A and B are shown apart, each in its own frame.
Chain A
Amino acid sequence: MFEACADPKAIEGLIWAACYLTSAKHVLFYWSFLTVLLLLAITAPAALAMGFVGATAARSHLAPVSWLGKIYIWMVRGVPDIIFFLFFVIALDQVIEYSKSLIVCESHAWPWQGLEFRVCPEAKVPLGKSSAFWHQAYGFMLAVVTFAIVFGAFVANVIFGAMNAVPRAQLETAEAYGMSRGQVFRRVLIPQMWVYALPGLGNLWMILIKATPLLFLLGVKDIVYYARELGGSKTQAYEYPHGDWRLWYFIGLMVFYLVFTRISEIGISRLTKKLSHGQATAGGEALRRARA
């Protein structure tokens, strides 16, 4: 990167360390922090939306819709993440390619031949000839969808519970005012349930933060992958040979995760306080007393 770093084996001390920490591979490592943050920024709202839909479906008065919601929650919560990430993603990828092959391929032969999955080259997603960037973007997108489905099921369960926790008296009062079922749901149930959902959602957020190493199973290189790769001992075949430094890299990651989860905790507690205003809960009561 810098001129002084042209021959890493001839330099030592601080300059070596500076060159080492700015090598192209380290720069990729630093960027991967952004990848993880981006993934969280997209996945969290997506999972929340999935969860909201799932919980609403599970509470539905229409039996088939309610079953659908409950089966989704039960199935996804019951399957270990790692199986989900290995099996589901390959299946999702193949379903996408198979659907595309029905439109663009001339022959519609059954693609699952023994161990191989064969569709015509035009049906590959992304196409074999597209650049590496699209392959990565596609992997990232599969990751977002999978994370949203997996975490959505847990979110759905939390929201389902929170909706049931809103005191019945509140809903009855609303009904007594002549509100329709939809109006009670929108005006009373949803605004009140968040305060019950928040502790559970906060937990899930913390778990989601730490679940990002699953990304590597999908071919997206995340911070844990790079820490392991950079920290492993390097022989003279590399420009910067060194011993087993994984411990130091992992300590670095630990600091990152602790800072990040601490910031999240502060954010969540502030949100809880805000949402507790005027609520018929112990937290809401405490706020009222403090003001009085």
Chain B
Amino acid sequence: MKRLLIATALVTMAGAAQAQDIVRLGTEGAYPPYNFINDAGEVAGFEREFGDELCNRAGLTCEWVTNDWDSIIPNLQSGNYDVIIAGMSITDEREEVIDFSQGYLPPASSAYLALSADTDLMSGPVAAQTGTIQASFVAENGMTLVEYATPEETVAAVKNGEAVAVLADKDYLVPMANESGGSLVLLEREEAIGGGVGLGFRDSDDDLRGKFDAAIKSMKCDGTLDAMIARPEYFGPEAKTWGDDGKEGC
């Protein structure tokens, strides 16, 4: 009875708020410069600007939602938001459960952050965020893996000595190393893992995926995507961009 009452109340409530269809974009909000929550409490970073531009080009009204990385795929599937835009690399494992758009960031390298440049990765556990390509890589390559729920905690683990190094996207680790005053350094060894970063959709949502794919392509064609990637506050002028590959078939 109580449940029924609540359901009725919700139906009335939801009916009262009439507006245009809204596409909900789900992100993690803890992985600068990809996405983070800025000091105004709003989603910011490369994916914020990129996502807003996509919605603009596709003529959609979009809204941002933050969700833990752990449960970001299940919550897409149960319909709590419609798109995952969270620096998610396109992998075969994930392709089995969700659909990806074409890549919007080319495959980037992953780097190790440690306390000193001569750290032996076999001498102790290596930290990575749960459910990332880096975590699988560490586990598959004979190193001891320690997993953490958020990127922040993986770096803290290295500072505290719980792990000898952390493996994550290089673009996330570079500012950490630069601003640590020398206490954290990037190792020379880098790993080329992942097949580029794409938007995640439900398997059944082909229409929406088509709209976003077209918008990504148009941003590649007129060069705005490359320009956005290379902006200093995002990935910087040295970052990999799409270049002429992105302009194929324009």
User: Is B141 interfacial (CB 8 A cutoff)?
Assistant: no
A233: which B residues are within 8 A, CB to CB?
152, 155-156, 176
State the Cβ distance, A233 to closest chain B Cβ, in Å. Answer: 7
CB-based contact B39/A239 at 8 Å: yes
The CA-CA distance from A27 to B39 in the complex, in Å, is: 10
Known: A25-B40, A124-B79, A130-B19. A241 touches B179 (CB 8 A): yes
Q: Which of A24, A135, A244 contacts B40 (CB 8 A)?
A: A24
User: Is B210 interfacial (CB 8 A cutoff)?
Assistant: no
State the Cβ distance, A152 to closest chain B Cβ, in Å. Answer: 11
CB-based contact A117/B78 at 8 Å: yes
Q: Which of A87-104 contact B (CB under 8 A)?
A: 90, 92-96, 99-100
The CA-CA distance from A121 to B38 in the complex, in Å, is: 32
Known: A128-B22, A229-B37. A93 touches B10 (CB 8 A): no
Known: A25-B41, A116-B202, A237-B45. A128 touches B24 (CB 8 A): yes
Give the nearest-CB partner of A95 in chain B: B3
The CA-CA distance from A27 to B41 in the complex, in Å, is: 9
The CA-CA distance from A8 to B38 in the complex, in Å, is: 13
CB-based contact B175/A236 at 8 Å: yes
Q: Which of B37-73 contact A (CB under 8 A)?
A: 37-42, 45, 63, 65, 67-68, 71
A94: which B residues are within 8 A, CB to CB?
78
B17: which A residues are within 8 A, CB to CB?
126-127, 129-131, 134
Q: Please, what's the 1-or-0 string for A76-92, where 1 marks a CB less than 8 Å from any CB in chain B?
A: 00000000001000101
CB-based contact A100/B7 at 8 Å: yes
Q: Which of A22-77 contact B (CB under 8 A)?
A: 23-25, 27-28
Interface size on B, residues (CB 8 A): 52
User: Is B192 interfacial (CB 8 A cutoff)?
Assistant: no
The CA-CA distance from A130 to B2 in the complex, in Å, is: 24
Q: Which of B14, B39, B63, B150 contacts A238 (CB 8 A)?
A: B39
Q: Which of B80, B82, B204 contacts A118 (CB 8 A)?
A: B204
Which of B10, B71, B202 has the largest number of chain A CB atoms within 10 A? B10
Q: Which of A8, A126, A240 contacts B14 (CB 8 A)?
A: A126
User: Is A266 interfacial (CB 8 A cutoff)?
Assistant: no
CB-based contact B38/A116 at 8 Å: no
Q: Which of B20, B156, B175 contacts A129 (CB 8 A)?
A: B20
Give the nearest-CB partner of B20 in chain A: A129
Q: Which of B70-114 contact A (CB under 8 A)?
A: 71, 74, 77-80, 82, 97
Known: A126-B17, A131-B19. A235 touches B176 (CB 8 A): yes
The CA-CA distance from A100 to B17 in the complex, in Å, is: 17
A244: which B residues are within 8 A, CB to CB?
156, 159
The CA-CA distance from A233 to B152 in the complex, in Å, is: 8
The CA-CA distance from A99 to B97 in the complex, in Å, is: 26
B33: which A residues are within 8 A, CB to CB?
237
CB-based contact A145/B97 at 8 Å: no
State the Cβ distance, B51 to closest chain A Cβ, in Å. Answer: 15
CB-based contact B10/A28 at 8 Å: no
Give the nearest-CB partner of A232 in chain B: B152
Give the nearest-CB partner of B22 in chain A: A129
The CA-CA distance from A140 to B196 in the complex, in Å, is: 36
CB-based contact B203/A116 at 8 Å: yes
User: Is A198 interfacial (CB 8 A cutoff)?
Assistant: no
CB-based contact A96/B19 at 8 Å: no
> What is B's interface to A at a CB cutoff of 8 Å?
2-3, 6-7, 10-11, 13-15, 17-24, 30, 32-33, 36-42, 45, 63, 65, 67-68, 71, 74, 77-80, 82, 97, 150, 152, 155-156, 159, 175-176, 179, 202-204, 233
> What is A's interface to B at a CB cutoff of 8 Å?
8, 23-25, 27-28, 86, 90, 92-96, 99-100, 113, 115-119, 121, 124-132, 134-135, 137-138, 141, 145, 216, 219, 229, 232-233, 235-241, 244
12 residue pairs bridging A and B, Cβ less than 8 Å apart: A24-B42, A25-B37, A115-B77, A116-B202, A117-B77, A126-B14, A126-B17, A129-B17, A130-B22, A138-B10, A216-B68, A229-B37
Smallest CB-CB A-B distances: 9 pairs: A130-B17, A126-B14, A235-B175, A24-B40, A25-B41, A232-B152, A237-B32, A239-B39, A23-B39
